[in-house]
């Protein structure tokens, strides 16, 4: 089995430079040491478009480009960086993944998701998700200038934070029905996703089949656990020294 790493929900931004440093530390430590790194969405707190000329965006692109020259790098869009597209992939040496990506690892059938599509009890969020992911919305955003997009992204984050703070925890988590449905549809052994910021490994049975669900951690300066690792010896949480 190859050594594969999975991370999500870093929420990188210029306002949190230590998280960017930790991302760089992970890339430097693992470049050439792992077979592949899978970023399952929300690498950025907001991505306003591949034409972002900011020093922050340039630094991230450079770090990822250096890593992809030594190990494979895959990217699945999240709800904060759904505007990432082929230009970013080309500039970073990254392979973009669809919303649902199947992987075979050492006899295991693994499904990768960002995870927000599993939060089906939050019907308000799902309606917004459909709109933000539509071709029409992307086209409208691309017609705006950089600073207009930056201001709009800040407003989206503000509204999202207010909305989420008012909802019960069970509404903003995945539903067991949605998890069972994707597990059954794909006949998987392992589901890996992020989004909910509730890291855990869950065991379930779907149609007589044992399935594990790994929820990736969000990144925090004081939290050593940053992701998940699959390798020949088994699986484990991926850790970095805390800040």
Residue numbering of the annotated binding site for substrate = 79-80, 122, 160, 164, 167, 195
Residue list, annotated binding site for Mn(2+): 9, 11, 42, 79, 114, 195, 197
Q: Are 39 and 75 in contact (CB under 8 A)?
A: yes
Residues in binding site: 9, 11, 42, 79-80, 114, 122, 160, 164, 167, 195, 197
Strands across the sheet with 95-97, in order? 95-97, 72-76, 36-39, 4-7, 225-231, 234-239
Q: Are strands 200-206 and 72-76 parallel, antiparallel or unpaired?
A: unpaired
Environment class of 168 (CB within 10 Å of its CB; exposed 0-12, middle 13-18, buried 19+): exposed
The torsion region of residue 79 among left (phi > 0), alpha (psi -120 to 50) and beta comes to: alpha
């Amino acid at each position: 089995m190859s050594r594969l790493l999975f991370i999500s929900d870093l929420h990188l931004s210029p306002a949190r430079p230590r998280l960017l440093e930790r991302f760089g530390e992970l890339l430097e430590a693992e470049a050439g040491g792992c077979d592949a790194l899978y970023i399952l969405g929300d690498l950025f707190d907001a991505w306003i478009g591949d034409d972002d000329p900011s020093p922050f965006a340039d630094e991230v692109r450079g770090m990822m480009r250096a890593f992809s020259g030594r190990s494979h790098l895959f990217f699945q869009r999240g709800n904060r960086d759904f505007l990432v597209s082929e230009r970013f992939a080309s500039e970073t040496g990254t392979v973009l993944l669809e919303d649902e990506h199947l992987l075979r690892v050492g006899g295991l059938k693994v499904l990768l998701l960002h995870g927000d599509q599993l939060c089906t009890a939050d019907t308000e969020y799902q309606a917004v998700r459909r709109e933000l992911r539509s071709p029409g919305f992307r086209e409208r955003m691309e017609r705006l200038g950089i600073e207009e997009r930056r201001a709009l992204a800040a407003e989206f984050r503000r509204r999202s934070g207010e909305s989420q703070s008012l909802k019960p925890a069970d509404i903003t988590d995945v539903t067991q029905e949605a998890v069972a449905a994707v597990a059954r549809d794909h006949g998987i052994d392992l589901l890996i996703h992020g989004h909910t910021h509730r890291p855990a490994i869950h065991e379930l049975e779907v149609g007589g089949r044992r399935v594990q669900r790994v929820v990736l951690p969000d990144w925090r300066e004081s939290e050593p656990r940053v992701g998940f690792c699959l390798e020949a010896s088994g699986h484990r949480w991926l850790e970095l020294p805390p800040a």
